[in-house]
Structure 1
Amino acid sequence: MASTTKDDNETCRRCGSRLIHLEWEERLDPHQIQQLWRCLECRNEFVTLNASEEESAPRDEIIEPFFTNLVVE
């Protein structure tokens, strides 16, 4: 499995097919997203790293509402 940076025209690294499918995505940090792609032609898998311009919410804005809803008194 190869790791690369994302191009605008994503193609399979092995066969050059444009028939690829995004299998999985993970945010590595606030500025990078790692994606696992699978080629539908040759079944090759490869990983891309994308720069994210999206600002993530502060940690407290995510955790506070979630956990307070789980508290049972």
Structure 2
Amino acid sequence: MKVANLAQLTGVHRNTLRNPSSERLQGRMREMVQVISAATELTGDVDKAIYWYRNEPIADYGHHTAADRVLQG
């Protein structure tokens, strides 16, 4: 994954990724990993879970993706 993509997924500026101890970065990464881990357990495939996380709208959440919801807090 490119730095710009990771920054976008975590909702931080790409320069923030240079400071891995940033509380905001750590919080967003933790949330992202928790959701992807749960989806991996359900699907049995980490690639499918990541695809779902980034691309599949969830009707109960206003058709936002899981990634959108993590970014929104």
TM-score after normalising by structure 2 = 0.20
Give 1 or 2: higher strand fraction.
1
Q: Which has the higher contact order (CA 8 A, sep 6+)?
A: 1
Larger Rg: 1
